[in-house]
Amino acid sequence: MDRRVEKLNEYLRGWLGYYALADARFFLEDLEGWTRRRLRMCLWKQWKLPRTKLRELRALGLPDWVCWELAMSRKGYWRMASGPLNRALGNAYWRAQGLKSLTETYLSLRQAR
């Protein structure tokens, strides 16, 4: 996952350099939300087995009943990434993993010009 976040940061930084002149703040907010949801989905898919999901959710500090509820869910990856996992793997988690914020970077680029 570290490599994925690193490559994504590289790609998005170049993309922002190209589109920094455009007034695209709201588009970037939507794109940033979609990107985090996609990363949550990839992480959930990477954990595969319910016991792995349970272990990783407990490591995030969630209550046991929430961990069991999420780990034993039969919902699809994309659906799980939207609601329940959003609370467990929020913006602070991805910031700690090294994911750069698109909107913050965009606003800093706009102010510099």
Position 18 pLDDT exceeds 90: no
Q: What is the mean pLDDT of the chain?
A: 89
Position 112 pLDDT exceeds 70: no
d(CA 102, CA 110): 12
Instruction: Give residue 110's pLDDT.
Output: 77
Between 12 and 81, the higher pLDDT residue: 81
| Residue 17 pLDDT class (50, 70, 90 cuts) | confident
| Residue 93 pLDDT class (50, 70, 90 cuts) | very high
What does residue 61 show for φ and ψ, rounded to 5 degrees?
90, 20
List the alpha helices (DSSP H) in the chain: 2-19, 25-47, 50-59, 64-71, 77-82, 84-88, 91-97, 102-112
- pLDDT (average), residues 41-53: 95
